[in-house]
Amino acid sequence: MVLAVLYKLFMDDLKAKKSSPIAYSCYFARNREGEQFASEHVFSYQISGTLIVNNGDKEYIFNEGDFRLIRRNQLLKFVKQPPQDGVFKSVSIYFDQAMLRSFSIEYGYKAVTGKNPKTETIIPLKGRPLYKSFMESLLPYIQGDELINDRLQVLKQREAIMMLLLSKPEIKDILFDFSEPGKIDLEAFMNKNFHFNVQLKRFAYLTGRSLATFKRDFEHIFHVSPSKWLQQRRLKEAHYLIREKGRTASDVYLEIGFEDLSHFSFAFKKMYGTSPSKLGR
């Protein structure tokens, strides 16, 4: 019976994969900025350059040779900085929930309630020769013409997990915590995360609500729709950054959650009666 369950989980894991869990980042540009929702745990190695990550509360900086574990269900902004006259390079392996559940059943690992530090978004990992050797073993598959099939990808994921558990046993309370986000303080969460450009359903999920409940609770607290509040709050932040901090519109529009500079400028002028470029003079 257990073998049948393991086989089903393993095959479901393979079928669910639409892209490789192994990712290689390589950038020649001066800096690359962006944001992402980390839906799964990610184990990463900084080969060269610098990665700066901000979760709204804290900034993390990773340089050449550093290792990190990014926890799932996190909103993050990042800056990728190549070294002088060099290239930004990192390699990451993702641990999806189906694979972790299969591993948990097979090896008997369970998270201990109360041991999971919810406040730490990214866990810096002390560099170990074993970590480096493992990460370098992935490079031929993602840099060259070698093919890595689904089964081998799962084996590599499992190898990484076993390695992490051997060197840092307490990490099981993170990897094998399969609970979903609980209902949290909506007002505090939105004031912290308004600058992340994600869909409302993502905000709803991260606050432990259905989309309908999120909208209802939001309007009860803020007395305005989520979309309208988000635009007004982002424009208010932009106004402060431009007027008080001397920033420019092109510097801040992505940072505060707008996708397009022209849309940002139009919305800003509509709200404040002047363009952001004139405000900054």
Query: Which pLDDT does position 177 carry in this prediction?
Result: 94
- pLDDT, tens only, 44-67: 999 999 999 999 889 999 999 999
Rounded to the nearest 10 degrees, the angle between the axes of helix 150-167 and helix 129-143 is 170
Report whether pLDDT(19) > 60.
yes
Q: Which of 80-84, 138-142, 203-207, 271-275 has the lowest mean pLDDT?
A: 138-142
What does the mean pLDDT of the chain come to? 88
The sign of the CA dihedral 211, 213, 216, 218 is negative
Q: Band of the pLDDT at 17, cuts 50, 70, 90?
A: very low
Flag whether the pTM goes above 0.95. no
Query: Which pLDDT does position 120 carry in this prediction?
Result: 80
Q: Which of 80-94, 108-122, 144-158, 197-211 has the lowest mean pLDDT?
A: 108-122
Q: Which of 12-21, 142-151, 217-226 has the lowest mean pLDDT?
A: 12-21
Report whether pLDDT(21) > 50.
yes
Alpha helices by DSSP H, listed for 168-210, are 172-175, 186-193, 200-206
Report whether pLDDT(2) > 90.
no
- What's the average model confidence in pLDDT over 106-130? 82
- What's the average model confidence in pLDDT over 169-191? 94
Query: Which pLDDT does position 115 carry in this prediction?
Result: 53
**Is 103 or 277 the better-scoring residue by pLDDT?**
103
- pLDDT, tens only, 80-107: 999 988 999 999 999 999 999 999 999 9
- What's the average model confidence in pLDDT over 152-174? 94
pLDDT > 90: percent of the chain: 71
- What's the average model confidence in pLDDT over 20-38? 83
Q: How far apart are CA 219 and CA 161, in angstroms?
A: 43
Q: Band of the pLDDT at 7, cuts 50, 70, 90?
A: very low
- Per-residue burial over 103-124, b if 16 or more Cβ lie within 10 Å, else e, is bbeeeebebeeeebeeeebbbe
Q: Encoding tokens for residue 256?
A: 């505060």
